[in-house]
């Protein structure tokens, strides 16, 4: 009985006050004492700091392979439109001879040459990535060709084969590369590739219109010449 009373007294007089007083309150620059500091505050790595245990020792990691970006507003919980969502999904037609044939009809360009923004953005990227070989006009006379530095001259987009080529085929070739041409999926996302192709189609349409115009005026000129 006496022993129990002593224990209670010890707890009440020594241990309880000791427990409370050992935790000094935070004030000013002093964050306060914490018994389980490592559990309360996890030690985060700086984004670009070295990390001894990760591949390449980089704290900042790339998203997991095949990660698809969220389209829409995650905070508001709203979804993006279906076109933006489709454009963010990976391109799945395989890089095979069968895939090349399938691409001609299976791929559909979501943009048209009437879409001014698509044509302008397409031109922007075309001039950066493609004009060096294909030429600004698309005639295959880019600077590295005319300078004689590059022997695998690209075709003119105005050759009948390319005039007839579907946008789906073009998309496939630009995504995976074609013979001497390297793939461009590393630099241009799906939306940008489609816009570049929209621009090529615009160049072709302008060329076809110019051809039609000369074909119309040519007989007239002949007729006028005859009349003279
Ligand atoms: C280094 C030079 C070079 C660059 C840069 C280049 N191309 Fe090409 N491209 C070629 C050559 C060469 C061919 C002909 C390939 C073949 O059929 O042998 C070609 C072919 C093509 C074709 C026809 C593909 C087919 O299926 O026959 C398209 C479409 C095309 N290029 C678009 C582009 C676009 C768009 C870009 C820029 C994003 C681009 N190219 C950048 C050299 C280039």
pLDDT band at residue 187 using 50, 70 and 90 as cut-offs: very high
CA distance 191 to 84: 9
Cβ–ligand 1 contact at 121 (below 6 Å): no
Mean pLDDT across the chain = 87
- CA–centroid distance, 225 to ligand 1, in Å, is 43
83 pLDDT exceeds 70?
A: yes
Residues 33-60: pLDDT tens digits? 878 877 887 777 888 889 888 888 888 8
Ligand 1 atom index nearest CA of 197: 35
Q: Is the CB of 154 under 6 A from ligand 1?
A: yes
Check if the beta carbon of residue 190 is closer than 8 Å to that of residue 183.
no
- For 147, list phi and psi in degrees, rounded to 5: -80, -10
Atom of ligand 1 nearest to the CA of 184: 38
Assess contact for 125 and 102: CB atoms under 8 A.
Answer: no
What share of the chain has pLDDT > 70, as a percent?
86
Q: pLDDT tens digits, residue range 94-144?
A: 999 999 999 999 999 999 999 999 999 999 999 999 999 999 999 999 999
Whether ligand 1 lies within 6 angstroms of the CB of 155 is answered as: yes
Q: Which is it for the CA torsion 125, 128, 133, 138, positive or negative?
A: positive
Q: Is the pLDDT of residue 162 over 70?
A: yes
């Amino acid at each position: 009985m006496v022993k129990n009373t002593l224990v209670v007294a010890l707890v009440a007089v020594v241990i309880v006050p000791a427990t409370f007083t050992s935790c000094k309150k935070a004030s000013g620059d002093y964050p306060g004492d914490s018994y389980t500091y490592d559990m309360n505050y996890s030690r985060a790595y700086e984004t670009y700091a070295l990390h001894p245990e990760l591949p390449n020792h980089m704290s900042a990691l790339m998203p997991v392979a095949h990660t698809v970006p969220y389209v829409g507003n995650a905070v508001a919980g709203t979804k993006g439109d279906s076109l933006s969502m489709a454009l963010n999904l990976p391109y799945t037609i395989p890089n095979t001879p069968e895939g090349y044939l399938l691409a001609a009809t299976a791929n559909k360009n979501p943009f048209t040459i009437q879409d001014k923004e698509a044509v302008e953005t397409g031109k922007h990227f075309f001039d950066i990535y493609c004009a060096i070989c294909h030429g600004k006009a698309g005639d295959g006379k880019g600077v590295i060709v005319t300078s004689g530095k590059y022997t695998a001259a690209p075709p003119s987009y105005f050759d009948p084969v390319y005039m007839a080529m579907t946008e789906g085929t073009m998309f496939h070739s630009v995504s995976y590369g074609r013979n001497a041409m390297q793939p461009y999926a590393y630099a241009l996302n799906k939306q940008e590739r489609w816009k570049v192709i929209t621009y090529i189609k615009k160049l072709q349409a302008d060329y076809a219109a110019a051809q039609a115009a000369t074909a119309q005026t040519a007989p007239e000129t002949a007729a006028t010449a005859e009349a003279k």
